[in-house]
Chains A and B, each alone.
Chain A
């Protein structure tokens, strides 16, 4: 039986990171669940073994069911009739398989029917699902919304909704509207409280809602009449069993065609408030989006991996001028860079997931007891670095997924342009990853303050202080040089104290930091397992050239020239 988890060593490599010991310890609280739940782990080794065994199930379902269905799903797509969505038949089969395998609510606590897995193994499953069919990750990955319900809902809501998600019901997050995309504070969907019925009613339209016909919706709506900004927005739970929301149409998209993107009409849809009024966007959606961004990073990594594999297989098999095209430098260079970008993306994904894991677990513990000063310190540290890594990682990995998908087609030549090969689907599917859950441009907006406040540099210094094998010393030297250039770039731009100028170069600065960080992460991978040395060498060489380019551009840039760029 084909199995993604078993056929790709890199998953185990990332699963067995030293930080996992701390993560599992926090997540399992002295393994207290073992006396209550027959599937809870006994100790650390047992927990890790369980993660592997469950990821093997995921790997098998991905390779044997989801991937073979992907082409049919892409062609068939979902349909809508009488306000309800019907998934493509392959999507339905995929959903049945993950439900029967108990793979919904992976990260939820056991008392609500979840598996209580840390984010690292959950995200690893998302990585594999995306490699099999990125459009299915959109549906399966929406179980993330349960996390928001868990964090901000009251106990009664948790008990009513989370077990349903763990049992296989799907979710959606209804945020965007025709006039509120990136700018969510313009959301106008109206929430009105009825004193007589003792509940809220929603009225209005939502647009671009992934899986909009889900069983359970989290909805951002305007609860404070007369307001126009973020402070008038609250979050609501809408249960499809109550009715009131219909799907008006589904978008005809370029990619991820298996995932229904819906326009929803709310007509007196009964809903309940989740959390406190007015905190909908300011607090809850921000938390929801951070989780969702990690999910998109996983989607991007899965796509990068798939694109590399398609390109590699074709380059080996295709013969021109009497030899396989993989033997030509122009082709093997592309492939080596694709491999390096996929490995770098994956390293970033799991590093970010580990940081999120630690601070989220501590945050959860803090609901039960007061944290020690050391724990509070630890939570603060990891929360900050996760906050810095999420937008950087989302930006970099999704751009790389696009580049890898682009190069996979290039390797296929004319064959890549016809619909007979998987690479064209990957190309279309990848295209949304650097747009939704915040475009790359908006990721830069979130990341730039970590450039100016030095979060990235401090983390790079931590990496710099680690021990590396002597044979990797040259690479480390290169990275030290790149870091010095990054510092120059940042000071050159920021010392102008000109905000528009800083914004203009923001993406370049974030990318320069990213090349240093990704380079160090690959250096650590190579330190543990020399089979990653190739990717480390290729990536650092590439990153060094990129940082040099950025440095050159910025040092030669005349601030007056900004005028040439402005739209007339």
Chain B
């Protein structure tokens, strides 16, 4: 069966490569100093979607992302890897959203897309680490959900079977479509960008980008419709502006602290099998390992 898949993806600051100037003096993230990247687990999610597309001819993969104008890059990155299209939710009114407001906005956009069998998203984003958005979107849409997915094992007769990676083991579960799944970082890495797709989609732009861009390749947009990336505002997805952005976000950050780790204590041990054995026991007892 062919599937209609929506992949939720987020552009995040690359917190894995934090330099000296990653934090501002007031304790907030200095986004300018961190490159903006495709959230890693969302790439794992995209790979799951593309594998389903490989296995089920006729399947379409559509990206949905919310963010500032430059987040259009996420849609292009998806297209470069084999996605079929995408939507950028962008509006000043979306700014400052916590997970509740974000999942509300995304769910409204998904309602507008309307036709879908499966929504796939990464488990969590590396800037917030909440793992809440996926489950909240499922709730708002009244869908079942499979979290911590490591592999989609099969999709047939309107049912999906997936392997979940849990702290102390794995679980194989199945549910009826449509559903939402969140994908773990332990799932296979996303495939590289494809040379043909990169050349095909490199000029793809949103309306806003087209207005900013130098007029070089504008003549292409009329007869190559796939180069026009869709941008949606609050009004486009018929969202209630109060439930969006800062006003829709009950989460308030009380305080952010800069924590610097120091090596606190050291322990000298004899280079004997016995001493190593003792150390192992100690580490297991205090749950450092095991």
Contact = CB atoms under 8 A, between A and B. Distances in A.
Interface of A: 38-42, 46, 49-50, 53-54, 57, 60-61, 65, 97, 100-103, 106, 115
A60 B193 CA distance: 10
A101 B224 contact: no
Interface in B191-213: 191-200, 202
Given A38-B224, A42-B220, A46-B217, A61 B199 contact: no
Given A57-B195, A100-B194, A38 B200 contact: yes
Interface of B: 191-200, 202, 217, 220, 224, 226
Given A42-B217, A42-B220, A50 B192 contact: no
Contacts of A54: 195, 198-199
Given A60-B192, A97-B192, 20 more contacts: A38-B200, A38-B226, A39-B197, A39-B200, A41-B199, A42-B217, A49-B202, A50-B198, A53-B198, A54-B195, A54-B198, A54-B199, A57-B192, A57-B195, A57-B198, A61-B192, A100-B191, A100-B194, A102-B194, A102-B195
Contacts of A42: 217, 220
8 contacts: A39-B196, A39-B199, A54-B195, A60-B193, A100-B192, A101-B193, A102-B194, A115-B195
Q: Is the interface of B mostly helix, strand, loop or mixed?
A: helix
B183 to A, nearest CB: 18
A20 B226 CA distance: 30
Contact of B199 (A53, A60, A65, A101): A53
Nearest to B17: A1
B83 to A, nearest CB: 14
Nearest to A49: B202
B196 A115 contact: yes
Contacts, number: 51
B192 A101 contact: yes
B202 A50 contact: yes
Contacts of A50: 198-199, 202
A53 B197 CA distance: 11
A60 B192 CA distance: 8
B205 to A, nearest CB: 15
Contacts of A115: 195-196, 199
Contacts of A65: 192
The interface centre, meaning the residue of B194, B217, B220, B226 with most chain A CB atoms within 10 A of its CB, is B194
Nearest to B198: A53
A452 B140 CA distance: 82
Given A42-B217, A42-B220, A46-B217, A101 B202 contact: no
The interface centre, meaning the residue of A46, A60, A106 with most chain B CB atoms within 10 A of its CB, is A46
Contacts of B196: 39, 102, 115
Contacts of B217: 42, 46
Contacts of A39: 195-197, 199-200
Contacts of A101: 191-195
Contacts of B191: 97, 100-101
A115 B198 CA distance: 12
Contact of A57 (B193, B200, B224): B193
A49 B220 CA distance: 16
Contact of A103 (B195, B197, B200, B224): B195
A433 B224 CA distance: 46
B192 to A, nearest CB: 4
A407 to B, nearest CB: 33
A50 B201 CA distance: 11
A41 B196 CA distance: 11
A38 B193 CA distance: 16
Contacts of A102: 194-197
B157 to A, nearest CB: 29
**A-B residue pairs, 4 tightest by C-beta:** A39-B199, A102-B195, A101-B192, A100-B191
A38 B224 CA distance: 8
The interface centre, meaning the residue of A61, A97, A102, A103 with most chain B CB atoms within 10 A of its CB, is A102
Contacts of A57: 192-195, 198
Nearest to B82: A100
Contacts of B226: 38
B17 to A, nearest CB: 9
A42 B216 CA distance: 11
